[in-house]
Amino acid sequence: MPNIRIVNAVETDVPLILDFIKQLAEYEKLSHQVVATVEILEKSLFGQRANAQVIMAELDGRKVGFAIFYTNFSTFLGKPGLYLEDLFVIPSARGHGVGKRLLAHLARITQERDYGRLDWAVLDWNKPSIAFYDSIGAKPLSDWITY
C-alpha cells in the first residue's frame, strides 16, 4: 500500500508548483499559454492578497502532484464554493490513488467550510481524466457552455 499524504503547499514549493503547471500545460498542448513565473506565483499564492491555495500530494515522501483551488460563489445556493483550477499527478505516480486522495481532501475542505459545491472543468478530449472523474462518481454539468 503506497504511503500518500496531502499537505498544504509552502512558499518553498513554488518552483515545483511551476514545474507541475508546465508539465500539465504540455500534456494539455497549451505550453504556449504559460506565462507564470516563480515571482508571479509567490505573490498570487503566498502574498498579502493570495488569490488561490495549493495542496501537494506526497507519495512515499516525494511530492508528486498538486491541486490549485480558490473560492467562487453561487448566487442560487447563496454560498461560496470551491473551484479546482488544476489537478496534476506526475505520470510515474498515477494509478496509486494520488488523484483520488487530492479530490477527497478538496471535498473535505468543501464540507468543513460549509461550501455549496466543488466545481472543476476538463477538456473535452481528455478521455483519461474524464474516465477518472466518472470512476469516482463525479457528474458533468451538460447544460452550461463555458465562455
Positions annotated as catalytic residues are: 133
Cell matching residue 85: 483550477
The residues, any chain, with a CB within 8 Å of residue 109's CB and separated by 6 or more, are: 69, 82, 115
Pairing of strands 62-74, 79-89: antiparallel
Q: What angle do CA 79, 115, 20 make, to 5 degrees?
A: 120
Q: Please give the order of strands across the beta sheet that includes 62-74.
A: 4-8, 53-59, 62-74, 79-89, 118-120
What is the residue whose three cell numbers read 478521455? 127
